[in-house]
């Protein structure tokens, strides 16, 4: 009898651990905005703020210090092109911060340097490709072409189906270069 009681108690306790019926979602939970839409809005706001001051380097620097991805990219590119080592190092930091802030041009720049081990970046093809894909997902044509090219030509990342998909996305956005590359890709065989 004791065994049956213990067995029944164990069964009941295990049953209570199972999935709980879903409670009705609160209206606030149902109306969560799309994260990609929020990111697009954030990028649009940052771009507008940058465009408003783009001829004033002091204000661009203030925006960059505040984390504006467009200002960080602008300042970072200028610093990297400098002949001064300290300025260049600051430029790398700005470009990486711009990429982290979601700036597609910066994501492409940092991603390419990582993917191919350029300008002192350690060779990290997968990490670089992931960074470039973030930029490509924002419909940055240069990033789309870079991602497609990497999938088409890189020894370790080669995947012609993915290359085709990215080229098609570029074509859909009106890129003549993507169209030419897609036509060439159609002639290739994946061995």
- Report the CATH number that the domain containing residue 175 is assigned in CATH: 1.25.40.10
Q: What is the mean pLDDT of the chain?
A: 86
159: confidence class by pLDDT, cuts 50, 70, 90: very high
> What local confidence, expressed as pLDDT, does residue 53 receive?
95
Residue with tokens 């990429």: 99
Structural domain contains residue 18: no
Residue 37: pLDDT band (50, 70, 90) is confident
pTM listed for this prediction: 0.78
* Shared domain check, 177 and 165: yes
Domain that holds residue 123: 104-186
Query: Has residue 118 been placed in a domain?
Result: yes
Are 120 and 96 in the same domain? no
Q: How many domains does the chain have?
A: 2
What is the tens place of the pLDDT at every residue in 136-148? 999 999 999 999 9
Are residues 185 and 177 in contact, defined by beta-carbon separation less than 8 angstroms? no
Asked whether residue 23 is assigned to any structural domain, the reply reads: no
């Amino acid at each position: 009898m004791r065994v049956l009681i213990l067995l029944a108690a164990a069964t009941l306790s295990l049953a209570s651990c199972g999935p709980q019926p879903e409670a009705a979602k609160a209206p606030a939970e149902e109306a969560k905005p799309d994260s990609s839409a929020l990111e697009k809005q954030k990028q649009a706001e940052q771009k507008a703020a940058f465009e408003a001051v783009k001829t004033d380097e002091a204000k661009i620097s203030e925006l960059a210090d505040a984390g504006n991805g467009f200002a960080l990219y602008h300042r970072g590119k200028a610093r990297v092109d400098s002949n001064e080592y300290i300025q260049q190092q600051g430029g790398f930091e700005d470009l990486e911060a711009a990429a982290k802030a979601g700036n597609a041009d910066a994501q492409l720049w940092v991603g390419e340097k990582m993917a191919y081990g350029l300008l002192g970046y350690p060779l990290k093809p997968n990490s670089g490709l992931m960074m470039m894909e973030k930029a490509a997902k924002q419909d940055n044509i240069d990033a789309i072409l870079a991602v497609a090219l990497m999938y088409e030509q890189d020894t370790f990342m080669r995947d012609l189906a993915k290359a085709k998909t990215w080229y098609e996305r570029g074509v859909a956005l009106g890129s003549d270069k993507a169209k030419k590359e897609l036509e060439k890709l159609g002639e290739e065989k994946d061995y």
